[in-house]
A = this chain, B = another copy of it.
């Protein structure tokens, strides 16, 4: 929260209800959110805003490094806090649940990209799709 407020101030921005609300929404979110979900979440904590403001403020927060875009679905942009530690996503294609997983092991592969192809990797995006524990119950079991 503090770091976020500081970034806003140092970019010449003001601390408004919408921004406080957004910071809180992203702090409390346990998965990436779509623009609509963000607006709904704001509403749930008593911050009423227009879609216009949500769009504008999300862009502001992305530009200032408070929030990151996440590429889960080709249909819809999702956003999550930029303060989360690096992780990947497990997306259940049945119920839609999204979990984060830490323990990234791509560093070695990235170095190899540089050695073998001269491509200097600065970031990556990795998502797994499938069935979560609950949706997977009984699938493939011989009963």
Contacts and interface: CB of A to CB of B under 8 A. Distances in A.
Contact of A71 (B74, B128, B139): B74
Category for how many chain A residues contact B: 35 or more
B122 A130 contact: yes
Number of copies: 2
Given A119-B133, A136-B118, A101 B113 contact: yes
A124 B117 contact: no
Contact of A128 (B77, B119, B127, B130): B119
B122 A124 contact: no
A72 B124 CA distance: 10
A109 interface: yes
Contacts of A130: 113, 119-123
Contacts of A125: 71, 125-127, 129
Nearest to A126: B126
Given A119-B131, A124-B129, 20 more contacts: A71-B74, A90-B113, A90-B121, A93-B122, A99-B117, A99-B119, A101-B113, A105-B109, A118-B136, A119-B132, A119-B136, A120-B131, A122-B130, A123-B129, A123-B130, A124-B126, A124-B127, A125-B125, A125-B126, A126-B126
